[in-house]
Amino acid sequence: MFVRGLAITLALLLYIGFVILSLSTRVPTPTRSNYTAAAKQYLVKHSKLPWANGVAPIKESFAGLVGIRFVATFFVANASLFFWFFPSLTQTQTQTQTGPEDDPAPLIVWLQGGPGSSSMIGLFYEMGPLRVNNDLTLTRNNWTWNEKASMLFIDNPAGVGYSKVSPTSQSTPSFSATSGPSYKNGYVTNQAAVGRDLVLFLEEFYKLFPAQRKAKLYLTGESYAGKYIPSFANAIIEHNKNMSEKDETNDDFRLKQYFFPLNGIAIGNGLTDPASQVLAHAPLALALGLVSKKQSEVLNSYAQDSVQKASKGQWREATLARNEIFAKFKEFSGNINPYDVRKGSVQNSWVDMETLLNIDTVKKALNVPTVYKFEKDPKVAEAMFEDGMKSSKGVVSETAESLKVLLYQGQFDYRDGILSCNDWISQLEWTGQKDYSEAPRNIWKIGNTTVGYVTEHKHLRRVEVLHAGHLSPKDAPEATREMIYELIGLN
């Protein structure tokens, strides 16, 4: 009896501890008296981070976990998203955070793809303000977009990086996969759920940083974020439309509190319309000299099979056929890096970042419980498997009617590069489609150096980035920063 009683007591204490931890991720509604305290919970302890000798630490940033879905009975978060927010390096803390401001720096949100890849890849290897060295020390990135703009990196969806789905995830509300957000054991299974979770997060973010509500908002990302970004934008547009329709019986009542100042989106090397994009893999591999004609025919047969199954709504089978294209490309080419064919058989590696973010002192500095592991949870990709071949092209078309849309691709990306995006971009159904199709493809230079090509009409701009792969901001940092600054009105 004593042992049994002790076990029950321990279980109760563990549950209470989890409740406290979950409640701590819930952001209080800001007032003038509690705003500063709420934001300070998320201040990054920069002195605790491993800066390289002679490198001046970033003055201020904010990071931690925010609950987005809760168990109603105990108000315990069963899904939380990790964020790392960097105010513009050229604006003071007073201007950006603690007081009213008429003209704050634009706010850029960055989402990585996957599904299942952490946005810390963008932070540490692409356009973020930090770089991680082989010895796990930190340096500064001279070409960061954060120089003139504030940046918000979100590990999305729950299960990616530090973002977590809790043991109570089975209590997540059930939604129809055909009419709205859908979840499987707390993991998102469709783009509606991705958009919903991100809007819930953004609501909490604006409670922490109300001054950011005046900043023009831009959503950016790459790869599978070619679906995330349109879904997020669509969810924001719907949120803004319905903002005045407050209904306390609605499960999403929390969404309808603040207008989100969305001004535009940018998708880099995006997987947006898979059914058209898979058809580019065979001819591209052949043109690059990485497969024989007969081998390209094999790749094409899998592509055609994938498209056919997608047209029948056989989403799992369609994604399996698409995956086979890359498996055969790997076999035929001798394991050439599909994200940047210039690298030969050398593959991308984020091991330095992953090691750094699993150090306890780093977790403490970022306000993350040390029991959390920074990881790529395979259940994220498993839950979204049937989403793989579904298109978000229509949402991009709708977005282009009212918001700035930037679509850019790197020259040497085999997976989601220039050739794979030609068809779906030209097929976008919006009022400017005809004029866009007739628009000139202009040479883009920085100084005397040609860095890419630009085609644009009204809100839609397409940029082909030279000397870049799948991670264009990493490979062409100066050009992509100029491109983004042009989008957000800083050039």
- For the stretch 448-458, pLDDT in tens is 999 999 999 99
Q: How confident is the model at residue 101 (pLDDT cuts 50, 70, 90)?
A: low
Instruction: Give the pLDDT score at 345.
Output: 97
pLDDT at 99 over 60: no
Give domain status of residue 433, yes or no: yes
Measured between alpha carbons, how far is 4 from 9 in angstroms, rounded to an integer? 9
Three-state DSSP string of 215-229: CCEEEEEEECHHHHH
pLDDT in tens, 260-275: 999 999 999 999 999 9
Q: Is residue 328 within 8 Å of 454, Cβ to Cβ? A: no
In a domain, 309, yes or no: no
Q: Predicted confidence band at 78 (pLDDT cuts at 50, 70, 90)?
A: confident
First to last CA, the chain: 73
User: Which of 239-248, 262-271, 414-423 has the weakest average pLDDT?
Assistant: 239-248
Evaluated on CA atoms 90, 92, 93, 99, the torsion sign reads: negative
Of the two residues 40 and 132, the one the predictor is more confident about is: 132
- Tokens for 126? 């692409």
> Considering the domain boundaries, does residue 318 fall inside one?
no
Find the DSSP H helices in 260-357: 274-277, 281-287, 293-311, 315-333, 351-356
Q: How many structural domains is the chain composed of? A: 1
Residue range 299-307: mean pLDDT, rounded? 98
State the residue range of the domain holding 351. Answer: 1-274+347-491
What is the percent of the chain with per-residue pLDDT over 70, rounded to a whole number?
Answer: 84
Cβ atoms of residues 104 and 215 within 8 Å: yes
Which two three-digit tokens encode residue 414? 């085999």
CA distances from 207 to 26, 61, 182, 255 (A): 10, 16, 26, 12
Query: What pLDDT does 174 receive?
Result: 38
How much is the pLDDT for 112?
Answer: 98
State how far the Cα of 138 lies from the Cα of 17, in Å rounded to an integer: 33
Q: List pLDDT tens digits, range 432-469.
A: 999 999 999 999 999 999 999 999 999 999 999 999 99
Residue 132 has pLDDT above 50, yes or no: yes
Burial of 164: CB neighbours in 10 Å, binned 0-12, 13-18, 19+: buried
Asked if pLDDT for residue 257 goes beyond 70, the answer is no
Instruction: Output the CA torsion sign for 84, 89, 92, 95.
Output: negative
Give a yes or no: residue 332 inside a domain.
Answer: no
**Per-residue pLDDT, 37:** 77
Q: Which two tokens stand for residue 375?
A: 């990881």
Distance CA 122, CA 220 (A): 11
3-state SS assignment for residue 332: helix
What average pLDDT does range 116-134 have in this prediction? 97
Q: Is 296 a domain residue?
A: no
Instruction: Dihedral sign for Cα 339, 343, 345, 351, please.
Output: negative
Q: 166 falls in which pLDDT band (50, 70, 90)? A: confident
Which pLDDT band holds residue 245 (cuts at 50, 70, 90)? low
Mean pLDDT of 400-423: 97
What would the pLDDT profile of 326-352 be if each residue is shown by its tens digit? 999 999 999 999 999 999 999 999 999
Q: What is the value of pTM for the model shown?
A: 0.88
> Which residues make beta-bridge pairs with 405?
265, 460
* Residue located via tokens 């603690």: 98
Q: For residue 337, tell me if it sits in a domain.
A: no
Average pLDDT over residues 40-69: 94
- Give me the residues paired with residue 264 across strands: 218, 404
The answer to the question of residue 340 being in a domain is: no
Q: Is residue 341 part of a domain?
A: no
Distances (CA, A) of 118 to 121, 158, 446: 6, 10, 31
Share in percent of the chain as helix, strand, coil (round to 5)? 40, 20, 40
- Compute CA distances 490 → 146, 176, 231, 482, whole Å: 12, 42, 26, 9
Least confident of 160-169, 267-276, 473-482: 160-169
More confident residue, 152 or 211: 152
235: pLDDT strictly greater than 70: yes
Tell me the mean pLDDT in the region 106-126: 97
CATH number of the domain bearing residue 463? 3.40.50.1820
pLDDT at 75: 53
Quick check: helix, strand or coil at residue 317? helix
Q: Which of 415, 437, 414, 435 is nearest to 425 (CA)?
A: 437
